[in-house]
Amino acid sequence: MRKYKKSDIFNEIKGRVRFKESLKRHTSFRIGGAAKFFIQPKDIADLKLVLISAKKYNIPVFIVGAGSNILVDDKGLEAIVLSLSTAYFKKISYSQQYLEAGSGFSLNRMVSGAARHGLSGLEFLIGIPGTLGGALAMNAGAWGKKIADIVENVTVADYHGNIKKLDRKNIRFVYRGSSLQRYIIINARLRLCKKKKKEIQNTICEYLKARRSSQGDLALSAGSIFKNPTSGSPAGKLIEQCGLKGRRIGDAYVSPKHANFILNKNKASSTDVIKLISLIRRRVKDKFNIELEPEIKIWR
């Protein structure tokens, strides 16, 4: 990091700038220290200003959506955390076959909005507590479907502040990841299809019911901790077969309902969670000779 005065970076920013902002408030795990700078840019011009300053003074930049797939270190981050959560990044519009939304838009609100417009294709995302930006970066999916399948194009900024529109064919999506993680996602156009509203609503209800019965109460978690191995049993089954359901370190414990979830009982630290992750990986490696790979992003 190069030497700078706060005024060098923040004076021109029209959005909200907070200093030493606790990231507990911005993650579903409710774990983690403070970000040195927490910035909600007002619009693209603001975003560019932040990115240019970050490059100039060599300050690392992290992007948070709804924080539902992130574990933040208790020591916090000597960095700028960008949150695209102002009105500019939460716009949405619908047409006959498409939906276009800002990256800060909530997935659940997007699913219900599309349903109200008789647009089908997003129902599988119901119950995922993220934003559109987070879902594209992570290639979020459920019930055998993934967001990659409905992407038409995505507008992004690179870390120099250049804006470009990427067509689907120029984006690489993999299981729980994508080449979009190299950028700041600004908005996206998704391809949907017309269907009877009642049918869409029924599918949404079925997915929600199935989610509740397989996952139980997931308050203070970050979703699946590990990716499923490419073949054989899913990660949750392997962890369960190691007898680790309910296993606790500090205030972090393996969900008794779905073993691929770690829950924060109350005051879990990032160290508690990381120790539990290491224990699980060791046990699964010893018993099945499988290396579980974390799905969550660990920020430190």
Ligand X SMILES: Cc1cc2nc3c(=O)[nH]c(=O)nc-3n(C[C@H](O)[C@H](O)[C@H](O)COP(=O)(O)OP(=O)(O)OC[C@H]3O[C@@H](n4cnc5c(N)ncnc54)[C@H](O)[C@@H]3O)c2cc1C
Give the residue numbers annotated as catalytic, written as ranges: 176, 224, 295
In angstroms, what is the minimal distance from the CB of 216 to ligand X? Answer: 10
In angstroms, what is the minimal distance from the CB of 7 to ligand X? Answer: 27
* CB of 283 or CB of 292, closer to ligand X: 292
140 binds ligand X (CB under 6 A): yes
* Residue 2 buriedness (CB in 10 A; 0-12 / 13-18 / 19+): exposed
Pattern 236-275, ligand X, x by CB under 6 A? ----------------------------------------
- The whole-angstrom separation of Cα 252 and Cα 269 is 8
138 binds ligand X (CB under 6 A): yes
* CB of 228 or CB of 269, closer to ligand X: 228
- Residues 6 or more apart whose CB falls under 8 angstroms from that of 11 comprise none
90 binds ligand X (CB under 6 A): no
Among 33, 113, 121, 129, contact with ligand X (rule: CB under 6 A): 129
Site for ligand X in 40-79 (CB under 6 A): 62-70
Pattern 271-290, ligand X, x by CB under 6 A? --------------------
133 binds ligand X (CB under 6 A): yes
Give the interface with ligand X as residue ranges (CB under 6 A): 28, 62-70, 84, 103, 128-131, 133-135, 137-138, 140-142, 181, 184-185, 218, 221-223, 297
